[in-house]
Amino acid sequence: QAADSKREQFRQYLEKSGVLDMLTKVLVALYEEPEKPDSALDFLKHHLGASAPENPEVETLRMEVADMKEKYEAVLEENKKLKTKVTVY
């Protein structure tokens, strides 16, 4: 009886935390795939990993990329203006 009680508590924990719902959604997605992937485990890892909390380093890298894109656009604009000046002279 104690084992059944622990199982039930664990099941309730998984349900409250959304784990059962997430696993069900991923397994349904795998079931509905018209062409089954070679590796079901990789499919699960990919789909579960996409919704996992992100590593703080990833957010830092995203910010760096956004900053670099802004700088790149500014350099392109400056380059365009300088090319125009050069053709005038």
What is the predicted pLDDT for the residue at 60?
86
What is the predicted pLDDT for the residue at 54?
64
At 17 the three-state DSSP class reads coil
Query: What's the whole-model pTM score?
Result: 0.49
Positive or negative, the CA dihedral 24, 29, 32, 34 is negative
What is the predicted pLDDT for the residue at 50?
61
Return the structure tokens found at 26: 């991923």
| 10-residue mean pLDDT series, the chain (89 residues) | 88 92 92 92 83 70 92 95 90
Positive or negative, the CA dihedral 74, 76, 78, 84 is negative
Tell me the helices (H) and strands (E) count for the chain, helix number first. Answer: 4, 0
